[in-house]
Amino acid sequence: MRVRPRPPHLRPRLTLTAATAALSLLALPTAASAASAPAAASPLQSQVAYAGTPATATTALTSTSTSASTHLTRPARPSPLDHQALERSLQAFHDAGMYGAYSAVRDGSDSWQGAAGVADIDTGRPVTPQMQHRIGSITKTFTAVAVLREVSKGRIDLDAPIDRYLPGLITGERGRAVTVRMLLNHTSGIADYSASIFATMDSLEGNRFHQFAPEELARLGIEAPPFGKPGQAHHYSNTNYIIAGLLLQKVTGQVPETYITAHVIRKAGLRHTYFPQSPSLSGPHAKMYEAANGHFDPPRDFSVYNMSWAGTAGALVSTMPDLNRFYRSLLGGELLPWAQLRQMKTTVPIPGSTTRYGLGLFQTTSPCGEFWGHSGLVVGAMTWSWSSPDGRRQISLGFNLTRYQKLDSNDRPLPNPIDAAMDAHVAQAICSTTASHTTERPLAPTRTAPLTSAPGQHSR
Q: What are the phi and psi torsion angles at 24 (to 5°)?
A: -75, 140
How far is 244 from 52, CA to CA, in rounded Å?
18
3-state secondary structure of 396: strand
CB 365, CB 306: distance < 8 Å: no
Of the candidates 79, 90, 80, the residue with the CA atom closest to the CA atom of residue 113: 90
Among 65, 89, 137, 385, the active-site one is: 137
DSSP-derived secondary structure for 324-390: HHHHHHHHTTSSS-HHHHHHHTB-EEPTT-S-EE-SS-EEEEETTEEEEEEEEEETTEEEEEEE-TT
How far is 309 from 95, CA to CA, in rounded Å?
33
| SS3 track for 91-155 | HHHHHCCCCEEEEEEEECCEEEEEEEEECCCCCCCECCCCCEEECHHHHHHHHHHHHHHHHHCCC
How far is 263 from 265, CA to CA, in rounded Å?
6
Q: Is 79 a catalytic residue?
A: no
Q: What are the phi and psi torsion angles at 326 (to 5°)?
A: -60, -50
CB 20, CB 42: distance < 8 Å: yes
3-state secondary structure of 197: helix
Enumerate the β-bridge partners of residue 105.
112, 395
How far is 180 from 183, CA to CA, in rounded Å?
5
CB 61, CB 371: distance < 8 Å: yes
- Alpha helices in 3-110, H assignment, sequence order: 31-35, 83-95
Q: 420's torsion region: left (phi>0), alpha (psi -120 to 50) or beta?
A: alpha
CB 397, CB 426: distance < 8 Å: yes
CB 299, CB 323: distance < 8 Å: no
Q: What are the phi and psi torsion angles at 425 (to 5°)?
A: -70, -45
- Catalytic residue ranges: 137
